[in-house]
Every structure is written in structure tokens, then in C-alpha cells.
Structure 1
């Protein structure tokens, strides 16, 4: 079966050869950084239609983490196009963080449509190095479909733990590796992953993010494995839930 996987990986490599060349000479990263926000905007529109019920359920207890002022200081890391804003409760004070500043134009549209929220600012930083965000400053941190693209997941979780107030919560929704290596999804993930990562800004189909969450410093972890409805096969396996500092 490994020969089967390697054969199909080689076929994909040949089909994507021009992209590999552009990547080798240092051009592809610049192209994808400019094109990815527009591509992500279209993809998240389709994704959110299929995941709306799951997201609504995930964020249904956000108000439990209100601070003494009956507010929620919420940091969304890898905020992308602002697809999660409509699920947040009235009066939430949102700080958006993303490594790619090209998302800001798409965020502006989402912010205009989300007048039930208060926007505190946009921070250009990576999820594994959120230095501009002070220690213990957030009641809630949200991360959806981001960890797949960040090489050092434990460092991301350390940063989330650092910026959360004691008793604060980290909400997550991520596609992950299939837990059953004998399934069609697992074979697709292994075949596609090298070229998929190159074409989609480092997105890794084989991440075992739940293992990193289980090892992190959170005092409590509520995590479920689910099969996402109506999404393309390679990203069907997901984890969803929240962890408390």
C-alpha cells in the first residue's frame, strides 16, 4: 500500500511541478499570501454553510466566561475573513489576530455586518508568537481551522494559555488526521498531503492536534471527534470543543 500511495504522490507532484518550481525560487509564497485571502473567503462561505450548526453549538456557552464587568474579551487567532463573528454574543470585545495583513479588507466587511460586537483592533502576529497580546488579558481565545497551518502546535497552545485569564476558555474547531489508517479518508490524506500543504499555505491534513491538546497545561478539556458534514473527503475528520485554563 505504501507503493500505491507513493505512486499517486508522484503523479500529483508532476501535475503541480510548476508550483514546486515557483516555490523553489521563492515566488510561490508571495503569490499565495496575496491570493489566499480571496480563496479562503470563497471556501469559508461554503464551509460555514455546512458547519453552521456545529459552530452555533460550540459557541453556545460563551457567556459562561463573562468577566466581572459582564463582558467577554475575546481574541480570535487566525481570524481570516471573520466567519465566526455572527456566533459571538452581543457586546463581545473582539481582538483579531492574523499573520497575513491581507485579510484586513475582508475583515472590514464582516465587522460592518457585526454591529453587535465591539472591535478592539487587528494584531499582525503568528499564533505561536503572540507577543503583542499581554499575559492573562483574554477571557476567551478562539481558533478555528488554523492549527493545521502552524508547524509548532504545542507553542500555539502555550501562547493561548499565556494570554488567557485564569478560568478563561480556549475554543477550537480543527480538521485533523483520520484516526483509522484503513479508511479511504486516511489514504486520501496521505496521498494529497505533500502537494496540499504546498498549495494551501502549509495546511497539513495529517495533524494529530488532539494529542497536543491532551498534553497541554489546561486544567480541563472538553473534546469530541466528529465527521464534518458536506465537506470534501480529506478534511472530514474534525475535533471540536474547548479547554479551560
Structure 2
């Protein structure tokens, strides 16, 4: 099986040689940063339609973590185009972080469509280094479809714990590796190298639940599911929340 995966990977990489050449020349990342927001706008609409019930379930208890101010202070890491905004409660004070500055235009549009929120600021930064956000300053951190592409899940989760107030919560919804014995996992392994380039660093075979289980949260509520998505490769999901 490993040989078959290697041969199919090699064939796919040969077909994708122009992308690898652009990546070697340092141009592919620039192209992705420019074009990825336009793809994500379309993908987010489809994803929200197919995952709306699960997102509502995920965010149903956000109000439990409202601080003394009476308004929920929420930090979204890897905010993208603001696809989660409509699921947040009225009066929620939102700070957004994303390493791609090209998302700002799309965020502004999303905010105009979600006037029930109080927007704080957009910070261009990686989730593994959120030094612009003070320690113990937010009630909730949200991260959806982001842990698949960060360089270090462990470092990001340490940063999440740092910025959360005591008793604050980290909400997540992520696609993950399929069961190793399945055909889905086989094809995830085959396409992973090309998928990584096409989708801005996304890795299909990450066992993200392990990083969450090993992080220093006091409580973890985590569920596995087969998401009702059109794309078979990203159907294996986890979602839930963890409390500092």
C-alpha cells in the first residue's frame, strides 16, 4: 500500500510540476495570498450551507463565557472572510487575526452584513505569535478550518491559552485525518503534497485532536463526525470547545 501511495503521489507531483516550479521561485505563495480569499468566499458559502446546523450547535453556549463587562470579547484566529460572524451573539466584541492582509476587504464586507457585532480590529499575524493581543484579555478564541494549515498546532494552542482569561474557552471546528484503514485516508495521503500547495498550506492528514488533548486546557469537549460535505477528502471533522 505504501508503494502504491508513493507511485500515485509521484505521478500527481509530476502533473503539478508548474506549481512546484513557481513555489521554488518564490512566486506561488504570493499568487496564493492574492487569489485564496476569492476562493474562500465561494467555499465559505458552500461550507456554511452544509454545516450550518453544526456551527449553530458549536456556538450555542458562547454566552456562558461572557465576562463581567456584559459583552463577549471574542478573538477569531484565521478569520478569513468572516464566515463565522453570523453565528456570534449580538453585542459580541470581535478581534480578527489572519496572516493574509488580503482578507481585510472581505472582512469589511462581512461586518457590513453583520451589524449585530462590535468590531474591534484586524491584526495581520500568525496564530503562533499573537503578541499584539494581551495575555488574559479575551473571553473566547475561535478557530475553524485553521489548525490544518498552521506551522505549529502546539505553539498556536499555547498562544490561545495565553490570551484567554481564566475560565475562557477555545472553540474549534476542523477537518482531520480519516481512519487509517479507509480509502479516504489512502487518497488523503496521495493528494496531500499537491493539496498543500493548492490550498495555502492545508494538510489533510493531521490528527488535530491529539494536539488538543495534549494542550493545557482544564476541560475538553470534543466530538468526531463525518461532515455532510460535498468534498469527501475533508469530511472527517472534529468540533467542540476547551476551557482554560
Shorter-normalised TM-score: what interval? over 0.9
The Cα of 1:50 is off from its aligned counterpart by 0.5
Deviations 1:159-209 (A, max 9, x none): 00000000000000000111x211111011100101110111110001111
Partner of 2:237: 238
Cα distance in 1 for partners of 2:152, 2:169 equals: 20
Query: SS of the residue aligned with 1:89?
Result: coil
Partner of 1:149: 149
Partner of 1:31: 31
Partner of 1:182: 181
1:211 aligns with 2:210: yes
The Cα of 1:60 is off from its aligned counterpart by 0.4
The Cα of 1:231 is off from its aligned counterpart by 3.1
Partner of 2:4: 4
Partner of 1:104: 104
Deviations 1:43-86 (A, max 9, x none): 11111111111001000000000111211000001000000000
Partner of 2:195: 196
Correspondences of 1:66-81 after superposition (within 5 Å): 66-81=66-81
Cα distance in 2 for partners of 1:230, 1:141 equals: 25
Cα distance in 2 for partners of 1:167, 1:101 equals: 31
**Residue ranges of structure 2 left out of the alignment (5+ in a row):** none
- Give 4+ residue runs of structure 1 displaced > 2 Å after superposition: none
Contact 1:47 1:231 (C-alpha < 8 Å) held by counterparts: no
Cα distance in 1 for partners of 2:170, 2:136 equals: 13
Cα distance in 1 for partners of 2:86, 2:158 equals: 27
The Cα of 1:41 is off from its aligned counterpart by 1.0
Deviations 1:123-173 (A, max 9, x none): 111000001000000000000000111020000000000000000000000
Query: SS of the residue aligned with 1:115?
Result: coil
Root-mean-square deviation (CA), in Å?
Answer: 0.7
Contact 1:92 1:118 (C-alpha < 8 Å) held by counterparts: yes
Correspondences of 1:164-183 after superposition (within 5 Å): 164-178=164-178, 180-183=179-182
Cα distance in 2 for partners of 1:199, 1:89 equals: 34
1:84 aligns with 2:84: yes
Query: SS of the residue aligned with 1:83?
Result: coil
Cα distance in 2 for partners of 1:153, 1:129 equals: 12
Cα distance in 1 for partners of 2:115, 2:89 equals: 11
